[in-house]
Amino acid sequence: MTQLTKKIFLSIITVSFIAVTIAIFLLTGVSYNYTADTAANNLRQNCSIISSAVEESGGRFLNVTDFGELRVTWISSSGRVIFDSAKDPEQLDDHSGRQEIEEAINSGEGESERYSDTLMTKTINHAHRLSDGSVIRVSDVQKSFPALLLRNLQPLAVMLTILALCSFASAILISRHIVRPINNIDLDHPKTEKSYKELAPLLKKLRKQNGRVNKQMIELKQSREQFSLITESMSEGLIVADQKANILTSNTSAYSLLGAEKSNDSHTVFSLCQTEQFRRCIQDAMGGRRSECLISTEKGDRKVIASPANSHDTVNGIVVFVLDVTEQQQLETMRREFTSNVSHELKTPLTTIYGISDMLANGMVKPEDVGSLSSDIRNEADRLITLINDIVSLSKLDENTAPRQDEEVDLYDLASDIISRLKLSADEKNVTAELTGDHVTVYGSRTILDEVLYNLCDNAIKYNNEGGSFTVKISHIPMKAIITVSDTGAGIPETHLGRIFERFYRVDKSRSRKIKGTGLGLSIVKHGVGYHGGTVRAESIVGKGTTFTVELPIEKKRN
Ligand code: ADP
SS3 string of 151-209?
HCHHHHHHHHHHHHHHHHHHHHHHHHHHHHHHHCCCCCCCCHHHCCHHHHHHHHHHHHH
Same domain, 526 and 468: yes
Q: What is the CATH number of the domain that holds 342?
A: 1.10.287.130
User: Under a CB-based contact definition with an 8 Å cutoff, are residues 322 and 236 in contact?
Assistant: yes
How far apart CA 230 and CA 334 sit, in angstroms, is: 34
Q: Which of 173, 207, 233 is the last residue in one of the domains?
A: 233
User: With a 6 A CB cut-off, is 517 part of the ligand 1 pocket?
Assistant: yes
Q: What is the CATH number of the domain that holds 486?
A: 3.30.565.10
Q: ∠ at Cα 463 (457, 466), nearest 5°? A: 105
User: With a 6 A CB cut-off, is 492 part of the ligand 1 pocket?
Assistant: yes
Minimal-distance CA residue to ligand 1 atom 7? 521
* Per-residue pLDDT, 509: 65
Does residue 178 fall inside a structural domain?
no
Same domain, 145 and 67: yes
Same domain, 199 and 247: no
Same domain, 292 and 343: no
Does residue 164 fall inside a structural domain?
no
What number does the ligand 1 atom closest to the CA of 515 have? 3
What number does the ligand 1 atom closest to the CA of 464 have? 24
Distance 540 CA to ligand 1 centre (A): 12
* Per-residue pLDDT, 464: 95
Same domain, 116 and 251: no
Same domain, 288 and 388: no
* Ligand 1 pocket test, candidate residues 506, 516, 524, 549, most atoms within 8 A of CB: 506
Same domain, 438 and 512: yes
User: With a 6 A CB cut-off, is 519 part of the ligand 1 pocket?
Assistant: yes
Comparing CA positions, the residue from 331, 421, 392, 335 lying closest to residue 518 is 392
Minimal-distance CA residue to ligand 1 atom 17? 507
Does residue 168 fall inside a structural domain?
no
Does residue 410 fall inside a structural domain?
yes
Quick check: helix, strand or coil at residue 462? helix
Does residue 95 fall inside a structural domain?
yes
Does residue 8 fall inside a structural domain?
yes
Residue type, 329: Q
User: With a 6 A CB cut-off, is 99 part of the ligand 1 pocket?
Assistant: no
Distance 436 CA to ligand 1 centre (A): 23
* Per-residue pLDDT, 96: 84
Minimal-distance CA residue to ligand 1 atom 11? 506
Same domain, 243 and 228: no
Number of domains in the chain: 5
Distance 68 CA to ligand 1 centre (A): 151
What number does the ligand 1 atom closest to the CA of 487 have? 23
Same domain, 290 and 224: no
| Residue 204, domain extent | 184-233
Quick check: helix, strand or coil at residue 507? coil
Same domain, 359 and 426: no
User: Under a CB-based contact definition with an 8 Å cutoff, are residues 283 and 275 in contact?
Assistant: no
Q: What is the mean pLDDT of each run of 10 residues along the chain (559 residues)?
A: 81 85 83 86 91 87 86 90 89 88 91 82 91 91 79 82 85 84 80 76 88 93 90 92 91 91 83 92 93 91 93 87 92 85 85 92 90 90 87 80 82 96 95 96 93 96 95 96 96 93 82 74 93 95 96 75
Strands (E), 226-287: 237-242, 247-250
* Ligand 1 pocket test, candidate residues 384, 492, 523, most atoms within 8 A of CB: 492
Comparing CA positions, the residue from 506, 493, 499, 503 lying closest to residue 543 is 493
* Per-residue pLDDT, 404: 77
453 Cβ neighbours under 8 A, 6+ residues apart: 411, 414, 415, 418, 472, 483, 485
Rounded to a whole number, what is the distance in angstroms from the first to the last CA of the chain? Answer: 88
Same domain, 60 and 79: yes
* Ligand 1 pocket test, candidate residues 348, 384, 459, 550, most atoms within 8 A of CB: 459
Q: What is the CATH number of the domain that holds 247?
A: 3.30.450.20
207 Cβ neighbours under 8 A, 6+ residues apart: 189, 190
Q: Which of 233, 265, 295 is the last residue in one of the domains?
A: 233
User: With a 6 A CB cut-off, is 521 part of the ligand 1 pocket?
Assistant: yes
Distance 512 CA to ligand 1 centre (A): 8
Does residue 166 fall inside a structural domain?
no
User: With a 6 A CB cut-off, is 463 part of the ligand 1 pocket?
Assistant: yes
Q: What are phi and psi of 468, to 5 degrees?
A: -80, -170
Q: Which of 377, 399, 421 is the last residue in one of the domains?
A: 399
